[in-house]
Amino acid sequence: MTALARSWVESANDPDGPFPLNNLPFGVFTVGDEPASAGRCATAIGDQVLDLAALEGAGLLPESGFSEPSLNRFMSLGAAAWSDVRERLTSLLAHETQEADGADAATNDVVRAALHPAGEVTLHRPFEVAEFTDFYAGRHHAFNVGSMFRGPDNALPPNWLHIPIGYNGRASTVVVSGTDIRRPLGQTKAPDADRPVFAPCERLDIELELGAVVGTPSEMGSAVTVDEADDMIFGYVLLNDWSARDIQTWEYQPLGPFQAKAFATTIGSWVVTKAALEPFRTATPPREAELLPHLRDTTPMLYDVELSVSMSAGGDEPTVLSRTNAKELYYSAAQQLAHHASSGCAMRTGDLLGSGTISGAESGTYGSLLELSWGGDQPFTLDGGQTRSFVQDGDTLALHGHAEGDGYRIGFGPCVGTVLPAHD
């Protein structure tokens, strides 16, 4: 495994920090009270945010659309452009660059002037979400939820081991970390009630997921191989797929979730590139049923990324509810994307593919409150003494994730949201 790449930005050399030179995630930011329309692209380095539009303007980076308030133009340019920018940024920020003189010293001054302390910037949604598709690729989650509703013998639907099951979600309500989430209203029906009611959701949940971000598009009518799909993926974000379980229970048959999922999805502020995660590739678990050829993977395409869920009630200290790992997924994002395009469905720059809830096999490793409270029957206790089965108003939920290298970490930054009361 590669070692820490040292930078002259000293805070980037902290072995426990999320943003060493090895990482270089991409996001969108403004400084101080600039309007959101002034948003431009950035990378994170240590405790600093580096303005990529400034570097592009100074001719230090190729024309990549970095002055736009989204990464879409850069993401559309493809793998060669992504790796070119990564190499140039690595060179500009490497430890050795600090000792430069002459023309290189002038370059170094430009880079220093483009750094902003992370505490002085606002991070925005990093890309324009073209479409959001949510999958169900976590084996343990599918088994747990299936067991609750159909019993362990019928937990997995008959198609589950043959295709990554998904549904088309909403792009319009994908928001960046830190955005407050309004408790949804919806139609529910208690099992013993004669009629449904329209009221605030009473079983508000989260789903710990990894989102894959599509960089390069595919054409309508053309399938892509799993290898081609992997090449199309620009990077990954943490993703919380907020879920209204009581609304979901009433509405989900026969076409799947609808309003239960449509009200909000939170993503992290930073897109961690496939290049940064390359040392952490790991194989999918053994196949329980042989996949058809168009969905077979040829190389390791999951990632060893440690994940956690924490919750705080009304501003209290957060309690870690769960720890798990992205390698628990049964299908990789490349397999999901290949499946998505297999009918001839065109995939677009900025498409977001949710992995599905990532849960481990045991209690304490579950990625949803539905599992942590086992259908609401087994409330859990926060460190402050409050009990919860689902999310209450004022609660803050946070996802964290990082890959653990040898003396460095590839961090994702937090994916956070606080729940506000429903509208009257």
Active site residues: 141
Among 131, 134, 371, 395, binds Ca ion (CB under 5 A): 134
Task: Find the shortest distance in angstroms from Cβ 213 to Ca ion.
Answer: 16
Comparing every residue's Cβ against Ca ion, the nearest one is 241
Q: How far is CA 283 from the centre of its chain?
A: 20
Task: Find the shortest distance in angstroms from Cβ 264 to Ca ion.
Answer: 12
- Contacts to Ca ion from residues 58-97, by CB under 5 A: none
Our CB check for Ca ion shows the closer of 241 and 297 to be: 241
Our CB check for Ca ion shows the closer of 207 and 395 to be: 207
Our CB check for Ca ion shows the closer of 51 and 241 to be: 241
- Contacts to Ca ion from residues 240-299, by CB under 5 A: 241
Q: Does 207 bind Ca ion (CB under 5 A)?
A: yes
Piece of the chain touching Ca ion by CB under 5 A; list 121-129, 199-207, 341-349, 384-392: 199-207
Our CB check for Ca ion shows the closer of 235 and 356 to be: 356
Our CB check for Ca ion shows the closer of 207 and 297 to be: 207
Piece of the chain touching Ca ion by CB under 5 A; list 91-99, 201-209, 223-231, 362-370: 201-209
Q: Does 371 bind Ca ion (CB under 5 A)?
A: no
Task: Find the shortest distance in angstroms from Cβ 136 to Ca ion.
Answer: 7
Piece of the chain touching Ca ion by CB under 5 A; list 218-226, 235-243, 299-307, 381-389: 235-243
Judged by CB under 5 A, the number of residues near Ca ion is 3
Task: Find the shortest distance in angstroms from Cβ 189 to Ca ion.
Answer: 22
- Site for Ca ion, rule CB under 5 A: 134, 207, 241
